[in-house]
Amino acid sequence: MVSGNLFHCRRNSWPAEEYVGRTALQLLDFDGGSPPEQAWRRRLNSHANLLKEFSVTFMEAMRMMSLGLRLWSYVREEASHGRKAPIDPFTKEKCKPSASQGVPLGGMGSGSISRGFRGEFKNWHIIPGLCETSPVMENQFSIFVSRDGGNKKYSSVLSPGHHEGLKKCNDSGISSWDWNLSGQHSTYHALFPRAWTVYDGEPDPDLKISCRQISPFIPHDYKDSSLPTSVFVYTLVNTGKDRAKVSLLMTWANSIGGFSHHSGGHFNEPFITAKDNPPVTFAIAACETQNVNVTVLPVFGLSGEGHDSAKQMWDRMKQNGHFDRENFEAGTSMPSSSGETLCAAVSASTWVEPHGRCTVVFGLAWSSPKIKFQKGCTYNRRYTEFYGTSERSAVNLVHDALTKYRIWEEEIEKWQNPILKNEKLPEWYKFTLFNELYFLVAGDGQPPIIDEKPSPGSNQQKSSKRGTRDTKQESVKDNHVKLTAEQVTNGGDLANGEERSVSKYAAVHGPQMAKATNGLGSQEPIPYLLSKNGPENVGKFLYLEGVEYIMWCTYDVHFYASFALLDLFPKIELSIQRDFANAVLYEDRRRMKFLADGTSGIRKVKGAVPHDLGTHDPWHEMNAYNIHDTSKWKDLNPKFVYRDFAATGDMSFGRDVWPAVCAAMDYMNQFDRDGDGLIENDGFPDQTYDAWTVHGISAYCGGLWLAALQAAATMAHRLGDRPFAEKYKLKFIQAKAVYEAKLWNGSYFNYDSGTSSNSRSIQADQLAGQWYAASSGLPPLFDENKIRSALQKIFEFNVMKVKGGRLGAVNGMTPNGKVDETCMQSREIWTGVTYGVAANMLLHGMEHQGFTTAEGIFIAGWSEEGYGYWFQTPEGWTIDGHYRSLIYMRPLAIWAMQWARSPPKAILDAPKVNLMDRIHLSPQMIRAMNEINVRKIAPDNRCFPSSAFRCEC
C-alpha cells in the first residue's frame, strides 16, 4: 500500500480557490457547473509559448547523413503518389506547435477535434493519418447580455482574441466580432474526458458562467465510447439586481481544418441530405426547454456574397439576441464556390432572474462513416454499427448526446471518484493519470467495423468480409457536407429512433491462412484475414504511434501504452492482440528497402511480430516502418507473450493465440547463436531504441527474453502443453544464469555485454523484463535485492542527477554521473519509459522513488513552470526541454502505475503458487535439450497437437 507523506509534491494540486473566487465556486455548484477539486488548471490569459523542437548534434547528423538522404528520397517518392510517408522529419506544419492544448472532443476512433484551453478548435484528425493543426477561428462560443431594458449591454466571443489576423479594420469577417475577453478572470479546468471553463465576471461583472465540456469516454462502454460527439453545458448565475437576457451563440465553419473550407462544393441546411462519398457532416444543436429559446442561422460567410456576412450575423445578435424562427424552414444552401467559407450559427436565449440560475446546453457531432485508406481498403467506423452509414446520423448523434450526457457523467464520476478521493495519492498524479488518456481520442484512433461488400474477385459464397478494396487511388478531401444547425427539444424522440446495424459481424470469416492464396502471384502477400474478435464483437481498433509517426498500433510502443486499454477497455486490447497473433503466422514476401543501411528484404517474415499494422492499408500491408529490418528486432516477439492472458484469465483467448505464441518464441531461437538460452543483439539498434546500438547481450532485450521464457512456459502449463512448458522452463533456467553472469556488476545491469564506450551505461529501462514479469503476476526474474539495487541506481543517477528529478528519467547515464551522449536517444528523457520505470518501482515497494520519478514528467510537461506539453505529451525531451514527436502513444504508460497499485482481479485471484515450480523437467527432456545443436529454425506452425489443451491452474 502507498503510505502518506512520502511525496515531494510541493502542494496539494492547484486549489480551485486560487483560480476562481470561492463565492463563484459556491454559486456555480449546481448541475455540475463547479470544477472539481482535482483538475489541471490555466488562466485564459496565460501565454501559450511556442514549443522548441529537438535538434541533433553535428556528430549525430554526420552519422545519420546516409539515412537522411534515403529518407528524404522516400518521402518525395511517397508524395509523388499522393501519400504521406509514415516518418517525415522534413515537412513542418504551417502552424507552429504551442502550449495551448486542452481536452479533445469525442469518443474513441471516430475522428477527433482538439480544443485548446482558451477555446479554439484545432488539431483536426478526421481523415485517418492526417492532422490539420491550425485552429478554425470561426468556431466559437459567444455571449450577448442585455440588462436594464437594454441600457446596459455586453457582448464578446468567449475566447481571448490572441490570434494573428484578428481586429483588422473594415473587416466583414470574424475580426468584426467583439473579442472583448481578456481572460484575466476566466479559467480552464481539465479532468479528461471533461473540462470546465469558468468566466468569473467576464464580460458581464454580475454574471458567473461555467461551460462544461463532456465527451463519451466511459470505460467498458464499447458503444457510447465510440461516438463522435461532445456536449457543452453552460451554467449561468446572475448576481446582479436586474434581470438579464442572456443569449449564447455557437458558430461553426464548414471545414475540417487546414484549407478544406476553400475547396468548394460544401453546403449547409437545417437538416441533412447526403450526395457524395465519403463526406464529413457536422451537426451543431442546442436544447430548447421551457426557459430556453433556440434559433438558427443556417448560412453566413466571411464575405457576405449571396448571404449574410459574419459582421451582419454578429450585428443581428447584438441587436436582437436571436435569429428568425422561419430559418428552420430554410432549404439547402447553394454549394460554396472555391475559396468561399460557409458557416452556421445556433443561438440559445434565456432570461436569468436576479440571483437566479439557468442551464443552456449545446451539442456537437460529426459523421464521417467511412474510413478510406489511401492504398486500398474502405471500412465503416465503429459507431455506424449503431447509427448507420447515412450522413443523417449526425442529427441522431447530437440528439442522443444532448439527452444522454447526464448518464455519461454519472458513469465517468463513478469511474474516477475512487482515485480522486484517495488521500494517499499525490494530487498531481490523480488528474495527470486521467488527462494522459487524451491520446486515445486525440491520437486519431479508428475502430472500424468491416464493410459488408466483398473484395473484387472474391467468391460471394466465401466472402472474407475483410473490407472493400478500392482499385483507384482516390483522396478523401472535398465534399465535406455539413449539417449546420438543429433545434433539439429536450426529451424528444429520435426520428427513426430504433438502433440500426449495418454490419452483422466485425470479425472476418475466411479460409485457413495456408489455403488463402486466391491465386496471387508469388510477390503478393497472402491475404491477411482480419482475426476474429472473440465471443463479443467490439470492433477493430487502430491507434497511431503519434501524429508525427504515422503507423498504426506500433507494437514496441503499444507494449507500454496498452496498460490503459487493458485496464479500461480490455476487449479492445484483446482484439488488437488477436490481430497481432494472426499477423505472426502471416508472410508478405514483397520487397522493401530499409533506409538505415540501404539493403532490402521482405516486408513481413513469418514468425516475427510486426512492428506495426501498417499505414496506408492496415492489416493488409504491415510494417510501414522501414528504417530497419524489424524482423531482426529482439524486443517485439518477447513483448507479445502472456500478459493479456494473465490479466484477463480468458482461456478462450489463450487458446486462440497460443499457436502464434509458439511460433513467436521459436522464431527467436535463431538469435541464440551460442546455445546458452539467451538471445544476442546484432550490433545495430534492433529494438525500440532505434538509434541506440546494442552489442551482444543487452539488459533491455535480454531481460524481456527472460520474462517471455518464463511467461511462455507458464502459459503452456496453464493450457496443458507440457512439452512446450518443459522446453522453455529449461531455457529460462539456462538464460537467467548467463544474463546475470554477463551483465550484473554488483549494483545494476550493464547496458550490454559488449566492449563499447557505453556498455556499462545505466539504462533507465534495464529492468523492462522484470516489469513485464511483475505486471503479469509472474515470479521475479532476479533476487529482490538485485532488483531494488538496480532501481535505486536508476533513481539516484538517471532521475535525481538530472535537474534534481524535475525532468523524469534520462535513458542513459554513465557510471560517473554524466548523461550518456552516445546518440540522441541515450541522452533523451522518454516520457512513457519514465512512467514504466516508476510503475516498476511501485511494484517493488519503492513508492517514494516511483512517484518522485513520475512527477518529473508532470513538472516538465504539465505544470505551469514546465515546457507546455500538456495534452500533447511528446515521446521525449532533452535535458533542456526540447521535444521530439508530440502527441505520442507511449505516455499512456502512466496507467501502468495504476496497474501496479491495483492489479486486475484475474492476477489478484490467481493461485499464489509459482507455476514455474509446477513444471517438472523429465530426465529425458533435459538430456534431449542438452543434445540439441542450436540452429536457425523456422516457426513451427503446429506447436501442439489439437487435443493438447487442458486447464491446470
Residue 483 has pLDDT above 70, yes or no: no
* C-alpha span between 286 and 488 (Å, rounded): 6
Instruction: Write the pLDDT tens digit of every residue in 768-796.
Output: 999 999 999 999 999 999 999 999 999 99
CB 299 within 8 A of CB 307: yes
Q: Which of 202-211, 454-463, 630-639 has the lowest mean pLDDT?
A: 454-463
> Distance between CA 233 and CA 212 in Å, rounded?
5
* pLDDT greater at residue 223 or residue 534: 223
Q: Has residue 335 got a pLDDT over 70?
A: no
Q: Which residue from 626, 780, 788, 785 is spatially nearest to 703, judged by alpha carbons? A: 780
Bigger pLDDT: 108 or 476?
A: 108
Alpha carbon distance 278, 366 (integer Å): 13
Tell me: pLDDT of 494 over 70: no
Provide mean pLDDT across the span 332-345: 66
The candidate with the shortest Cα–Cα distance to 615, out of 76, 129, 280, is: 129
Q: Provide the pLDDT confidence category of residue 339 given band limits of 50, 70 and 90.
A: low
Lowest-pLDDT range, 313-317, 454-458, 579-583, 874-878?
Answer: 454-458
DSSP 798: I
Choose from 510-519, 537-546, 684-693 the range with maximum mean pLDDT: 684-693
What is the pLDDT at residue 926?
62
d(CA 760, CA 750): 5
What are 76-99's pLDDT values in tens digits?
999 999 899 999 998 887 788 999
Q: What number is the average pLDDT over the span 330-334? A: 56
257 vs 436, more confident: 436
Looking at 93-102, 210-219, 651-660, 675-684, which range is the least confident one?
93-102
Section 805-821 average pLDDT: 97
The secondary element (H helix, E strand) that includes residue 147 is strand 140-147
The yes-or-no verdict on residue 8 having pLDDT over 60 is no
Determine the pLDDT at residue 128: 79
The Cα–Cα gap between 885 and 550 comes to 11
* Best CA proximity match to 771, nearest among 853, 866, 695, 664: 853
Rounded distance between C-alpha atoms, residue 910 and residue 711, angstroms = 14
CA 253/CA 264 separation, integer angstroms? 13
The radius of gyration computed from the CA coordinates of the chain, to the nearest angstrom, equals 28
- Over the stretch 697-712, which tens digit does the pLDDT of each residue have? 999 999 999 999 999 9
111 pLDDT higher than 50: yes
Q: What is the DSSP letter of 127?
A: S
Contacts 24+ apart (CB under 8 A), 787-790: 787/844, 788/844, 788/845, 788/846, 789/747, 789/748, 790/747, 790/748, 790/749, 790/766
**Whether residue 193 has a cis bond before it, omega within 30° of 0:** yes
**For residue 916, what is its C-alpha cell?**
514455474
**Closest by CA position to 770, among listed 822, 835, 824, 705:** 705
Dist CA 440 CA 544 (whole Å): 9
pLDDT, position 648 = 93
Question: Which residues sit opposite 145 in a β-bridge?
Answer: 154, 246
Please answer whether residues 780 and 770 qualify as being in contact, where contact means their C-beta atoms are separated by less than 8 angstroms: yes
Closest CA to 375 of 663, 83, 592, 665: 83
d(CA 10, CA 713) in angstroms, rounded, equals: 46
Half-sphere exposure of 456 (CA within 13 A, CB side): 7
What percentage of the chain has pLDDT greater than the value 90? 64
Beta bridge partners of 155: 144
For residues 116 and 16, give the distance between their C-alpha atoms in angstroms, rounded to a whole number: 20
- C-alpha cell of 206? 454580475
| Residue reference for cell 441533412 | 272
* pLDDT value of residue 292: 96
Q: Is 721 helix (H, G, I), strand (E, B) or coil?
A: coil
CA distance 756 to 400: 62
Tell me how crowded residue 144 is: count the other CB atoms within 10 A of its CB.
24
pLDDT reading at 803 higher than 50:
yes
Cα 300 from Cα 308, distance rounded (Å): 5
Whole-number Å distance between alpha carbons of 930 and 913 = 28
Each residue of 194-213: pLDDT tens digit?
999 999 999 999 999 999 99
Residue 346 pLDDT = 95
Residue 108, CA distances (Å) to 373, 442, 507 in order: 18, 9, 19
For the record, the C-alpha cell of 788 comes out as: 531494488
Alpha-carbon distance values, 359 to 57, 115, 205 (Å): 56, 22, 19
Q: Check if the beta carbon of residue 835 is closer than 8 Å to that of residue 854.
A: yes
Give the pLDDT of residue 930.
59
C-alpha cell at 173: 469577417
Higher-pLDDT residue of 471, 752: 752
Kindly tell me if the per-residue pLDDT of 355 is higher than 90. yes
Strand partners, 105: 113
Q: What stretch of H or E contains 570? A: helix 570-584
Could you give the percent of the chain with pLDDT greater than 70?
79
Q: Provide the residue type at 464 as one letter.
A: S
**What contacts 233, CB < 8 A, 6 or more positions away?**
31, 32, 33, 211, 212, 214, 359, 360, 361, 405
Mean pLDDT lowest for which of 65-69, 266-270, 894-898? 266-270
**How far apart are alpha carbons 228 and 396 in whole angstroms?**
11
| pLDDT confidence of residue 168 | 54
pLDDT in tens, 130-167: 878 889 999 999 999 999 777 789 999 999 976 655 65
| Closest C-alpha among 405, 123, 136, 107 to residue 251 | 136
User: How far is the C-alpha of 351 from the C-alpha of 292, rounded, in Å?
Assistant: 8
Residue 259 has pLDDT above 50, yes or no: no
Q: Do residues 258 and 131 make contact, with C-beta atoms less than 8 angstroms apart?
A: no
Asked which of 80-94, 269-283, 793-807 is least confident by mean pLDDT, the reply is 269-283
- Cell 525500440 sits on residue: 688
Residue 13 has pLDDT above 60, yes or no: no
Residue 278 has pLDDT above 70, yes or no: no
Segment (H or E) for 666:
helix 651-668
pLDDT band, residue 219 (cuts 50/70/90): very high
Q: Is the pLDDT reported for residue 315 higher than 70?
A: yes
In this predicted structure, what is the pLDDT of residue 18? 82
The whole-number pLDDT of residue 659 equals 96
**What is the rounded average pLDDT for all residues in the chain?**
83
9 grid coordinates: 509534491
pLDDT digits (tens, 9 = 90+) for 520-545: 333 444 434 444 445 567 888 999 99
pLDDT tens string 733-748: 999 999 999 999 999 9
**Exposed, middle or buried: residue 23 (CB in 10 Å: 0-12, 13-18, 19+)?**
exposed
Residue 225 grid coordinates: 465510447
CA atoms within 13 A on the CB side of 165: 7
| CA end-to-end span of the chain | 27
Which pLDDT score, from 0 to 100, does residue 134 have? 86
Lowest mean pLDDT among 499-508, 556-565, 855-864, 927-936: 499-508
Whether a cis peptide bond, with omega within 30° of 0, leads into 270 is no
Q: What is the pLDDT of residue 912?
A: 60
Q: What is the DSSP letter of 531?
A: P
- The whole-number pLDDT of residue 396 equals 92
pLDDT for res 696:
96
